[in-house]
Amino acid sequence: MSNEIPQDPRLTAQLYFLHEADRLKSILRGTPIHDGSRRENSAEHSWHIMLYALTLVEHSTRPVRIDRVLKMLLLHDIVEIDAGDAPIHGNHDPDEMAAKEQAAADRLFGLLPDDQAAEYRALWDEFEAAESDDAVFAKSLDRVQPVICNLEANGGTWTEYNVTHEQLETRVGVKVRRGAPAVWAHLQKRIDDWFGV
């Protein structure tokens, strides 16, 4: 009689997905941590914006389901394991990056059992589309957190990326205002002062 414990294929798949997800801790982003001593990694960013959502949910333009928002924020950057970070002010081809992220989503979520793969992929797609109330709010936080990090780090990587006030407004401000306009309004004077507007 064998002493071997039969392996549960579902649990094996789940644990392998979690093993792969650990790699998110090694993906450095184009945003510094608040003290400016180093860049944050993508896992830290995901945690931080989940905390933003939990804390700032009352500032959403529309009612949201915070559990769904948190799930989206937890999963939204997992594709960076394969695709890398694409800073919003960086120099990259958006279409090429989108294709890399789609392929990464296919591979990474495809590691999971079918039901979880479908659920996680649907949440990721919803976040990317930014059309539902939950996704609009989640996307606004994903955009505003780097702004706050850069402000706290005395401009952080804005100088490296040659960010202008207009770029920040069109690439970031518009999206933040869609989901959390009070947060953007609260930051506006600090942003204007930093850019000398």
Domain of 164, CATH number, reads 1.10.3210.10
Q: pLDDT value at position 2?
A: 61
- Whether 22 is covered by a domain: the verdict is yes
- Whether 3 is covered by a domain: the verdict is no
- Whether 141 is covered by a domain: the verdict is yes
Tell me the pLDDT of the chain (197 aa) as tens digits: 567 777 999 999 999 999 999 999 999 999 999 999 999 999 999 999 999 999 999 999 999 999 999 999 999 999 999 999 988 888 888 899 999 999 999 999 999 999 999 999 999 999 999 999 999 999 999 999 999 999 999 999 999 999 999 999 999 999 999 999 999 999 999 999 999 99
Q: What is the pTM of this model?
A: 0.94
- Whether 136 is covered by a domain: the verdict is yes
Rounded to whole angstroms, the Cα distance separating 153 from 156 reads 5
- Whether 2 is covered by a domain: the verdict is no
Domain that holds residue 14: 9-195
Domain count, the chain: 1
- Whether 74 is covered by a domain: the verdict is yes
